[in-house]
Structure 1
Amino acid sequence: MTTSLPGTLSPGRRAEDLAAVAGAEVDVVVVGGGVTGAGVALDAASRGLSVVLLERTDLAAGTSRWSSKLVHGGLRYLAHGEIGLARESARERAVLMGSTAPHLVRKLPFLVPDEAGRDVTALAAAGGHLGDAVRLSVPGGRGSLPSTRRVGPDDVARLTPGVRPGRGGVVFWDGQLVDDARLVVAIARTAAAYGARILTGAAVTAVDGSDVHAIVDNSEAVTIRARVVVNAAGVWAQRLAPGIRLQPSRGSHLVVRGDRLGSPSAALTVPLPGSRSRYVFALPQADGLVYLGLTDEPVDGPVPDADPVPSDAEVQQLLDTVNQVLTEPLTRADLVGAYAGLRPLVLPASAGAGPGDATADLSRKHLLQWDGPVLTVVGGKLTTYRAMAEETVDAVVARLGRGALRSLTGRLPLMGAAPRAALDRVRAATRLVGRYGTEAPVVEALGPAAVVAGRLETVGELRFAARHEGARTVADLLDRRTRIGLVPADRARAVAVAEQVLAEEL
């Protein structure tokens, strides 16, 4: 018997939603199933609007799964003088950590070693203390994270064993997501619990007045009449809104085994040579891997549907930067994977006719722009998705003449969320609680066997994804609901198990 869960994205629910939307009229059609689109769907549905979300591939199939998996307070924004954006980031970090998704976010120390230069750590200390002041100024910020402090050589060796020994450093704190794609799935399922119809495999082909035309599963044509269309397609937003000016930027990461760096418990933070505001991070993960990033390279020309890949120059830049402080330098032979994502950065009106070449200096502020019944929301950061969604839906309800409907999402727990004390009492493996929250016992009951020998993901996680999280393909299971796919060799070993689960569940 299949357990019924709130917000389930089961095969049966999908069939019901498909039958219901064909020819229907709804308040809002959201185009795009990344963090922004899912956030808009949740905000709108929780205000009582009728909502359909159409995503051409799968939840978090685009940029939203290629982030650094951080919920950060915006230190880099402070370096650019964007105090308002830094405060918004700090506020939204406190919302995620304290109210909406405490099961998916943990505190993470960031260590800047003196080995990178005392001028570097002095600057990091000043930035960290300024970030602490911003955190203290926002609701929920006080007590959410420890304060910036200097540490000695023993602490450096304990937190980041791979760093050359003998010197101290500076530690500041930020938030880390267990998984960015899991955040998107939790948001989408919460939206579904409020009545939103979440349809993946539904590619929007045109918006003709209030009619939204889509092709479902590459075969079935569907038309939905929408009072408002929200274009949340990210770097692909120009396909529905050609007047939007974007300069995509590629952010790349490398994946290495944590033991290669001594299994660090803090994020090693090393400045990019010549920069006072850009750093390369070695980010430890709960599964024993370390993600090494982040680059910021402009991408010109049409945005392809295929996943981006790091360039050779980016790989070398990341290795060269972090190797400045390591006892044993990393080489390309240490890489077990790599990934890249495209940021949808908005070009300001003053940028002239051509694309810019300094994407690192472009603001991370988002853009809201109407074009007839289509409202495009693009830009911004994963951390601030909720605030972007609230502002977007405020504009929607104003257009619909229903401005009395106020956002609820600032205190609305996502699926699986609970206060930390309640999460600590959940009777399931700690790792599963950190990914599924209060639903972890359901996942655990579906099967404890490992998908791949030597990895922690279970067959129960794959079954749960197919039954309740809208997973319909091997890629959905291995590349998004779990992240086995970040290590290609492990992914190859997991395909047969994923295929078997899909055959049994769908």
Structure 2
Amino acid sequence: MTGQSDRVHTTPVHTAPAHTTPVHTTPAHTTALSAARRARELAELRDRDTPVDLVVIGGGITGAGIALDAASRGLETVLLEAHDLAFGTSRWSSKLAHGGLRYLATGNVGIARRSAVERGIMLDRTAPHLVRPLAQVVPVFRDTPPLGAVLPGLGFVAGTLLSRLAGTRADRLPGARILGAGKVARYVPGVRRDGLVFGHLNWDCQLVDDARLVTAVARTAAGHGARVITRARVLEASGTRVTVRDELGGGDGKDGDDDDFTIAARAVVSATGVWAGETTPGVRVRPSRGTHLVISAAALGDPEGALTVPVPGETNRFCFAIPADFGRLHVGLTDVDAPGPVPDVPVAGEDEIEFLLDVVNRALQTALTRDDVLGTFSGLRPLVDSGDGDTADLSREHAVLTSDNGLITITGGKLTEYRLMAEQAVDLVVRRTGVDSAPCRTTDLPLVGAPGHPEVARPGTGPGATRLPASLVARFGQEAATVVAESMLDRPLEPVAHGLDVTRAEFSYAVTHEGALTVDDILDRRSRVGLVPADRAAAVPAAREALATTPRDAPS
């Protein structure tokens, strides 16, 4: 994890995992998303009088995954998002690609097994540049109840077995073991020493960032010909057509144009998460709010792993403090019923903040206070409503439903299973429409930036051409040199603000290649600077400069 410093740490571009098996295919289109490409593809859709193969509604991880699966099979695909990529739940996760231990403990072996398999696919083949092993440490104290001292270790051993059965090797994800008190403190220096007896160590996986994963999947889909269009709100949808409004006013009433138009399709899939009920009447989603706190990693001694603390009175719930970018920790997670209208941006409740501080403080030498909280973020899980039970008890299974008008809706599920959910949705589309399709390819299809992805870098920017900031390579993988070489901003390797290891080149690339159209897109989704209000304010000038400097006919 990167620290809070102005010093530029460098790493060679060629640090990609050597174990990855490349899949050499050549995309028919560039992966670059830009304002120019959006305008051109919207115009093509307005003028079109024949159906596309598939329209996907929703630009979160599930929708982006469906677009990639479909486009890589050869289906003509359109992805429509009312706001921006990763605008909803997909940017508010715990940023884990986990193996489903919690579900194994509750007897849901199916979710646990699928999660372990999908985690391995990302770690070893499709996104090794965005997924990395994460140590999880559960400290055991003299006053820990006997059951609480034993159960985490048993669960971790079962999780290790599940990893091996899923094909993940020990050199990629080590097995569970017991740590002495001294080694617990080495992983988490801020742990309470008084009464510390030992700790359980487990290895899971962490995403570099959840919103970056969504962007990479969407761009990879665009490289296979998918039209990925943000700020395009679906007003009405059936199984064969959608009515769309260009939220940027592309029609603007001139020459008889209108901002609303219709796209015909052989199939339409709604992947709108907690908003599924708005697109598909009759679908019941029961949102559950999960809140995280953002604190300085220094408050826990800059831990190397995630501190994991059992919730008192619960046998299968934990809170954790996970290392994150910019010298931060993310402390989570709550599970609170969130009925009523779905907000665009959920807000943490003060009771949730106090709950998280109370649980984590039980394992800390120096207690965190409200003043340590630099920021918060909350997301709404799209749980399929069974009609009873607490949200913590509702199934994390996903559901694929078909409405009377033919609209296919997919909701529920876990971020780690996005690829599988997409495969199942596209399989249904192919069966229903009879469209000519290749088999699913996404189990071995590298995302943009991963080893084996065929996007050609600019001349002179290949592996070994230069040394780049380690944080940039961590976020962009084998694209890192291209990010710098194609910067429209001067001083590309300078930080966007004091203490943030995001370079000016990354802000420029967000506009020219990642479809960012606004300051919010850059700060809140292409980078995660916006998680801390003070960081956000400091980086606003660089974001504005990136938008102003980038030509509107940037690469497309």
State the TM bucket, normalised to the shorter chain.
Answer: over 0.9
Aligned residue number for residue 436 of structure 1: 476
What are the ranges of 5 or more consecutive residues in structure 2 without an aligned counterpart? 1-27, 250-258, 454-461
Between 37-46 and 129-138, the greater mean CA deviation after superposition: 129-138
Shift of 1:46: 0.4
Helix, strand or coil at the partner of 1:492: helix
CA 1:416–1:151: 2 relative to 1, 3 Å: same
Counterpart code for 2:417: T
Between 487-496 and 328-337, the greater mean CA deviation after superposition: 487-496
1:238 has 2:283 as partner: no
Deviations 1:398-442 (A, max 9, x none): 01114763110000000000179xx99684322111100111012
Deviations 1:110-154 (A, max 9, x none): 000013725323111100001111111113455431000000111
Helix, strand or coil at the partner of 2:314: coil
- Cα distance between partner residues in 1 of 2:69 and 2:207: 21
Q: Is the 8 A contact 1:56 1:204 kept in 2?
A: yes
- Cα distance between partner residues in 1 of 2:433 and 2:264: 14
Aligned residue number for residue 450 of structure 1: 495
Shift of 1:18: 1.1
Q: Is the 8 A contact 2:296 2:327 kept in 1?
A: yes
Q: Is the 8 A contact 1:151 1:170 kept in 2?
A: yes
CA 1:132–1:424: 2 relative to 1, 3 Å: farther
Helix, strand or coil at the partner of 1:119: helix
Aligned pairs (5 A) from 1:56-455 = 56-115=82-141, 117=144, 119-141=147-169, 143-165=171-193, 166-208=196-238, 210-219=240-249, 220-304=259-343, 306-348=344-386, 351=387, 356=388, 358-371=390-403, 372-402=405-435, 405-418=438-451, 427-445=467-485, 446=487, 447-455=492-500
Aligned pairs (5 A) from 1:454-469 = 454-469=499-514
CA 1:19–1:419: 2 relative to 1, 3 Å: closer
Q: Is the 8 A contact 1:323 1:330 kept in 2?
A: yes
Deviations 1:310-363 (A, max 9, x none): 111110100000001111000000010000000000023xx3xxxx45111111
CA 1:221–1:157: 2 relative to 1, 3 Å: same
Shift of 1:39: 0.1
Q: Is the 8 A contact 1:90 1:141 kept in 2?
A: no
Aligned residue number for residue 15 of structure 2: none
Shift of 1:195: 0.3
1:472 has 2:528 as partner: no
Q: Is the 8 A contact 2:241 2:268 kept in 1?
A: no
Deviations 1:232-291 (A, max 9, x none): 001001111111111110000000000011000110000111111110010011431000
Shift of 1:6: 3.0
Q: Is the 8 A contact 2:310 2:319 kept in 1?
A: yes
- Cα distance between partner residues in 2 of 1:464 and 1:154: 44
Q: Is the 8 A contact 1:110 1:173 kept in 2?
A: yes
- Cα distance between partner residues in 2 of 1:360 and 1:266: 25
- Cα distance between partner residues in 1 of 2:219 and 2:302: 34
Helix, strand or coil at the partner of 1:70: coil
Aligned pairs (5 A) from 1:12-31 = 12-24=36-48, 25-31=51-57
Helix, strand or coil at the partner of 2:368: coil
Counterpart code for 1:174: D
- Cα distance between partner residues in 2 of 1:62 and 1:499: 23
Helix, strand or coil at the partner of 1:22: helix
- Cα distance between partner residues in 1 of 2:52 and 2:436: 17
Deviations 1:26-63 (A, max 9, x none): 01000000000000000000000000000000000000
Give the TM-score normalised by structure 1.
0.94
What are the ranges of 5 or more consecutive residues in structure 1 without an aligned counterpart? none
Counterpart code for 2:504: V
- Cα distance between partner residues in 2 of 1:317 and 1:327: 18
Helix, strand or coil at the partner of 1:57: coil
The aligned length equals 494
Shift of 1:109: 0.4
Q: What value does the CA root-mean-square deviation take over the aligned residues?
A: 1.8
Helix, strand or coil at the partner of 1:476: helix
Shift of 1:97: 0.2
Helix, strand or coil at the partner of 1:77: helix
Aligned residue number for residue 256 of structure 2: none
**Identity %, equivalent residues:** 49
